[in-house]
Amino acid sequence: MKNKIVFVWIWVIFNIFIGMYEVHCYQHRNLLNLENIPKWNSSVIASWNEYCRVDPRYVWKEYVWYFELLNAFYAFIFIFVLLFYKNAIKYILLLEIISCSLYFLTLFYEIIVDENIKKKIMETSSIQNRIVYYGISSIWIIVPVYLFYLFS
Protein backbone atom coordinates (compact mmCIF):
# COMPACT_ATOMS: atom_id res chain seq x y z
CA MET A 1 0.00 0.00 0.00
CA LYS A 2 2.84 2.41 0.82
CA ASN A 3 4.35 2.10 -2.69
CA LYS A 4 0.93 2.76 -4.23
CA ILE A 5 0.55 5.98 -2.27
CA VAL A 6 4.07 7.13 -3.21
CA PHE A 7 3.30 6.53 -6.88
CA VAL A 8 0.01 8.42 -6.54
CA TRP A 9 1.81 11.35 -4.88
CA ILE A 10 4.28 11.47 -7.79
CA TRP A 11 1.33 11.51 -10.19
CA VAL A 12 -0.40 14.26 -8.19
CA ILE A 13 2.70 16.47 -8.03
CA PHE A 14 3.26 16.00 -11.76
CA ASN A 15 -0.39 16.88 -12.39
CA ILE A 16 -0.14 20.03 -10.27
CA PHE A 17 2.74 21.34 -12.37
CA ILE A 18 0.91 20.43 -15.57
CA GLY A 19 -2.27 22.00 -14.17
CA MET A 20 -0.45 25.28 -13.50
CA TYR A 21 0.91 25.15 -17.07
CA GLU A 22 -2.60 24.52 -18.45
CA VAL A 23 -4.12 27.38 -16.46
CA HIS A 24 -1.33 29.72 -17.61
CA CYS A 25 -1.90 28.76 -21.25
CA TYR A 26 -5.65 29.17 -20.81
CA GLN A 27 -5.16 32.67 -19.43
CA HIS A 28 -3.01 33.56 -22.47
CA ARG A 29 -4.97 31.63 -25.09
CA ASN A 30 -5.52 34.84 -27.05
CA LEU A 31 -1.82 34.61 -28.06
CA LEU A 32 -2.34 31.28 -29.82
CA ASN A 33 -2.67 31.24 -33.57
CA LEU A 34 -2.39 28.79 -36.42
CA GLU A 35 -1.00 31.14 -39.05
CA ASN A 36 2.43 31.74 -37.56
CA ILE A 37 3.21 28.81 -35.32
CA PRO A 38 6.75 28.95 -33.94
CA LYS A 39 8.81 25.82 -33.51
CA TRP A 40 9.21 24.48 -29.99
CA ASN A 41 11.20 26.81 -27.77
CA SER A 42 11.33 27.86 -24.15
CA SER A 43 8.18 29.98 -24.35
CA VAL A 44 5.23 28.38 -22.61
CA ILE A 45 2.76 29.79 -25.13
CA ALA A 46 4.97 28.73 -28.05
CA SER A 47 4.91 25.18 -26.72
CA TRP A 48 1.10 25.23 -26.61
CA ASN A 49 1.06 26.74 -30.09
CA GLU A 50 3.06 23.70 -31.13
CA TYR A 51 0.38 21.48 -29.62
CA CYS A 52 -2.21 23.40 -31.67
CA ARG A 53 -0.61 21.86 -34.76
CA VAL A 54 -2.23 18.53 -33.84
CA ASP A 55 -5.39 19.99 -32.30
CA PRO A 56 -6.35 23.40 -33.75
CA ARG A 57 -9.55 23.41 -31.71
CA TYR A 58 -7.60 25.18 -28.94
CA VAL A 59 -7.56 28.23 -31.18
CA TRP A 60 -11.09 27.88 -32.55
CA LYS A 61 -13.22 26.31 -29.83
CA GLU A 62 -13.43 27.43 -26.23
CA TYR A 63 -14.90 24.19 -24.88
CA VAL A 64 -11.67 22.22 -25.50
CA TRP A 65 -10.01 24.27 -22.78
CA TYR A 66 -12.51 22.90 -20.26
CA PHE A 67 -10.80 19.52 -20.48
CA GLU A 68 -7.51 21.19 -19.54
CA LEU A 69 -9.08 23.13 -16.70
CA LEU A 70 -10.71 19.94 -15.42
CA ASN A 71 -7.27 18.30 -15.34
CA ALA A 72 -5.94 21.20 -13.28
CA PHE A 73 -8.96 20.99 -10.97
CA TYR A 74 -8.54 17.23 -10.50
CA ALA A 75 -4.89 17.71 -9.56
CA PHE A 76 -5.74 20.11 -6.75
CA ILE A 77 -8.70 18.03 -5.55
CA PHE A 78 -6.45 14.98 -5.58
CA ILE A 79 -4.25 16.52 -2.86
CA PHE A 80 -7.27 16.97 -0.61
CA VAL A 81 -8.39 13.39 -1.30
CA LEU A 82 -4.94 11.98 -0.54
CA LEU A 83 -4.70 13.87 2.73
CA PHE A 84 -8.20 13.27 4.04
CA TYR A 85 -10.15 10.69 2.01
CA LYS A 86 -7.85 8.01 0.65
CA ASN A 87 -10.90 5.84 -0.12
CA ALA A 88 -11.93 8.34 -2.82
CA ILE A 89 -8.71 8.04 -4.86
CA LYS A 90 -10.41 5.72 -7.35
CA TYR A 91 -13.16 8.26 -8.01
CA ILE A 92 -10.71 11.01 -8.93
CA LEU A 93 -8.80 8.59 -11.16
CA LEU A 94 -12.06 7.60 -12.83
CA LEU A 95 -12.89 11.26 -13.45
CA GLU A 96 -9.47 11.78 -15.07
CA ILE A 97 -10.00 8.74 -17.30
CA ILE A 98 -13.45 9.95 -18.36
CA SER A 99 -12.30 13.52 -18.96
CA CYS A 100 -9.34 12.58 -21.14
CA SER A 101 -11.37 9.97 -23.00
CA LEU A 102 -14.01 12.63 -23.76
CA TYR A 103 -11.26 14.90 -25.06
CA PHE A 104 -10.17 12.22 -27.56
CA LEU A 105 -13.75 11.31 -28.48
CA THR A 106 -14.58 14.94 -29.27
CA LEU A 107 -11.34 15.27 -31.26
CA PHE A 108 -12.07 12.18 -33.37
CA TYR A 109 -15.71 13.18 -33.79
CA GLU A 110 -14.79 16.67 -34.96
CA ILE A 111 -12.14 15.35 -37.34
CA ILE A 112 -14.86 13.23 -38.95
CA VAL A 113 -17.50 15.97 -38.98
CA ASP A 114 -15.46 19.12 -39.64
CA GLU A 115 -13.28 18.97 -42.73
CA ASN A 116 -11.51 22.22 -41.70
CA ILE A 117 -10.12 20.67 -38.53
CA LYS A 118 -8.92 17.57 -40.34
CA LYS A 119 -7.38 19.69 -43.12
CA LYS A 120 -5.60 22.00 -40.66
CA ILE A 121 -4.20 19.05 -38.68
CA MET A 122 -2.88 17.45 -41.86
CA GLU A 123 -1.36 20.75 -43.06
CA THR A 124 0.35 21.76 -39.83
CA SER A 125 1.51 18.49 -38.31
CA SER A 126 3.43 15.43 -39.35
CA ILE A 127 2.54 11.87 -38.43
CA GLN A 128 5.38 12.00 -35.88
CA ASN A 129 3.88 15.16 -34.31
CA ARG A 130 0.51 13.49 -33.97
CA ILE A 131 1.96 10.31 -32.48
CA VAL A 132 4.04 12.29 -29.95
CA TYR A 133 1.38 14.78 -28.89
CA TYR A 134 -1.56 12.36 -28.83
CA GLY A 135 0.73 9.95 -26.99
CA ILE A 136 1.54 12.61 -24.40
CA SER A 137 -2.16 13.37 -23.96
CA SER A 138 -2.99 9.68 -23.57
CA ILE A 139 -0.86 9.63 -20.41
CA TRP A 140 -3.96 11.02 -18.65
CA ILE A 141 -5.78 7.82 -19.53
CA ILE A 142 -2.97 5.28 -19.16
CA VAL A 143 -1.62 6.31 -15.73
CA PRO A 144 -5.03 6.75 -14.07
CA VAL A 145 -6.16 3.36 -15.48
CA TYR A 146 -3.01 1.77 -14.06
CA LEU A 147 -3.50 3.45 -10.67
CA PHE A 148 -7.21 2.62 -10.66
CA TYR A 149 -6.44 -1.09 -10.99
CA LEU A 150 -3.60 -0.78 -8.50
CA PHE A 151 -6.18 0.36 -5.93
CA SER A 152 -8.78 -2.27 -6.87
Q: Is the pLDDT of residue 14 over 60?
A: yes
Q: Which residue has the higher pLDDT, 82 or 149?
A: 149
Q: Is the pLDDT of residue 140 over 80?
A: yes
Percent of the chain with pLDDT over 90: 52
Q: From residue 92, how far is each of 6, 87, 95, 148 by CA, in Å? A: 16, 10, 5, 9
| Residue 114 pLDDT | 92
pTM exceeds cut of 0.75: yes
Closest to 124 (Cα-Cα) out of 63, 27, 57, 31: 57
**Residue 16 near residue 76, CB atoms below 8 Å:** yes
- C-beta neighbour count of 55 within 10 angstroms: 24
Q: Which residue has the higher pLDDT, 100 or 47?
A: 100
Q: How far apart are the first and last CA of the chain?
A: 11
| Residue 145 pLDDT | 96
